Amino acid sequence: MKPESLMMSYGYKPSLSEGAIKCPIFQTSTFVFNTALEGKRFFEVAYGLREKDQDEEMGLIYSRLNNPDLEILEDRLCLWDGAEECAVFESGMSAISTAMMEFMKPGDLLLYSKPVYGGTDHFINHFLKKLQISSVGFRADETKEEIIKKIEEKGLGHKLSMIHIETPANPTNAIIDIEMCAEIKKHFETIENPIVFSVDNTYMGPVWQHPLKHGADLVLYSATKYIGGHSDVIAGACLGSKELMGRVKGLRTFLGNMAGPWTGWLLMRSLETLKVRMDQQAKNAKHVAEFLNAHPLVESVYYLGNAAVNGTEKERELIAKQYKSYGAMIAFDIKGGEKEAFCFLDNLKLIKLAVSLGGTESLAEHPQTMTHADVDSEDKVAMNITEKLIRLSIGVENYDDLISDLKSAFDQINH
């Protein structure tokens, strides 16, 4: 069955919860063992002292280690990405920072795509730097050979321990070839120096892009965005093989940054409508993009649906290979500069002026002065993050209403 058919019931047994059709919120810190021997056996597995027997389920011990709301949610999230295991976190940043801390150590090198999410960028360039973990960034327009040369020129190839990318890149939907990054990993990897390749898949959510199928080792999410989808919860997730996830979950246990049962319950509720929400958002985005493409006050529109038609051969090939949809994120250049952009943003009514993305309500923001204020100016120019750029996250509203709202905001410019 398809994941959307399984989101209502997968992994949950009503008979264990008084027949409740929905998984209750297990608002409990600890779990009672039936016998001391049972407790001993649960701990043996939890601390890796022995392997689980076949058919043996991991016993519930303490909510920092496991909790039904988290475990069922994690099993359901695995279905979308075809992952073996998942760990849910209290935020997207905690998923990203925990994975990076687990797979890198002082002296190591990180290769990452630019620009990445502002919080990730800060973590890489401040916290990791403090731990003597250095980094090399690359943009979507750089080739495999150029990227490899950058690392080899620094003489740090043998120190490369992690590759981390975001695609399509926020805010202009620049596309990075996931398989190319897997080849860069192969180029540098040795038995003594394994490399972990992670993809922050927040921008496409678990429905529209599946990085594990293109050679990534880990998929990371801010579940705050499409997965949560209602702008009412902060959460994150990391998915991958049993082996890698064992390590991520190990560090999560000791950092204590797992999501709580209430967050787990909210995300399970959200997952039931993930596919229908995202389908509608993508459909709305297509109509909005068509409107923007034709509007006289719009200079350029950055949308995968446009790149799929007018993009370079490489872009068109990557879109066909990596994406199941053109997504619901659109950026565009308005004619003029900051004054016109702000006038437009201040006159939207239905579409809210806020950062974040992927929720049921449409949002608009100004990357240059908001989400991407911290990006260095050379990268800003290269990525078309200028004062005339506006980013839209399209929600589930009626698309005619969204278009009317955009239209009346445009009408206020120069009035």
In whole angstroms, give the CA distance from residue 351 to residue 148: 43
Which range touches ligand PLP (CB under 6 A), out of 5-13, 61-69, 88-96, 243-251? 88-96
In whole angstroms, give the CA distance from residue 337 to residue 386: 8
Query: Which CB, 393 or 405, lies closer to ligand PLP?
Result: 393
Q: CA angle 311-313-319, nearest 5°?
A: 70
> Is 375 an interacting residue with respect to ligand PLP (CB under 6 A)?
no
- What is the maximal distance between C-alpha atoms in the chain? 77
Query: Which CB, 200 or 315, lies closer to ligand PLP?
Result: 200
- Bridge-partner residues for 221, per DSSP? 237
Tell me the closest approach of the beta carbon of residue 120 to ligand PLP, in angstroms.
Answer: 6
Binding mask 209-248 for ligand PLP (x = CB under 6 A): -------------x-xx--------x-x------------
Contact pick of 11, 119, 250, 311 for ligand PLP (by CB under 6 A): 119
In whole angstroms, give the CA distance from residue 372 to residue 285: 22
Kindly give the residue spans of alpha helices, DSSP state H, lying in 9-143. 36-46, 68-81, 92-103, 118-122, 129-130
Peptide bond into 171 cis (omega under 30): yes
> Is 172 an interacting residue with respect to ligand PLP (CB under 6 A)?
no
> Is 200 an interacting residue with respect to ligand PLP (CB under 6 A)?
yes
Helix axes 274-294, 399-411, angle to 10 degrees: 40
> Is 91 an interacting residue with respect to ligand PLP (CB under 6 A)?
yes
> Is 202 an interacting residue with respect to ligand PLP (CB under 6 A)?
yes
> Is 97 an interacting residue with respect to ligand PLP (CB under 6 A)?
no
Tell me the closest approach of the beta carbon of residue 410 to ligand PLP, in angstroms.
Answer: 27
Closest CA to 202 of 107, 291, 91, 285: 91
Which range touches ligand PLP (CB under 6 A), out of 114-122, 296-304, 313-321, 331-339? 114-122
Contact pick of 42, 103, 117, 138 for ligand PLP (by CB under 6 A): 117
- In the range 150-169, which residues lie near ligand PLP by CB under 6 A? 166
DSSP state at residue 395? -
DSSP state at residue 397? S
* Structural contact between residues 269 and 253, judged by C-beta atoms closer than 8 angstroms: no
> Is 354 an interacting residue with respect to ligand PLP (CB under 6 A)?
no
Kindly give the residue spans of alpha helices, DSSP state H, lying in 295-376. 304-310, 313-322, 338-346
List, by residue number, the catalytic residues: 64, 117, 200, 225
* Structural contact between residues 79 and 6, judged by C-beta atoms closer than 8 angstroms: yes
Tell me the closest approach of the beta carbon of residue 104 to ligand PLP, in angstroms.
Answer: 18
Tell me the closest approach of the beta carbon of residue 341 to ligand PLP, in angstroms.
Answer: 21
> Is 90 an interacting residue with respect to ligand PLP (CB under 6 A)?
no
> Is 340 an interacting residue with respect to ligand PLP (CB under 6 A)?
no
- Bridge-partner residues for 113, per DSSP? 138
Query: Which CB, 92 or 305, lies closer to ligand PLP?
Result: 92
| The amino acid at 28 | T
Tell me the closest approach of the beta carbon of residue 119 to ligand PLP, in angstroms.
Answer: 5
Name the site residues for ligand PLP (rule: CB under 6 A): 91-93, 117, 119-120, 166, 170, 200, 202-203, 222, 224-225, 234, 236
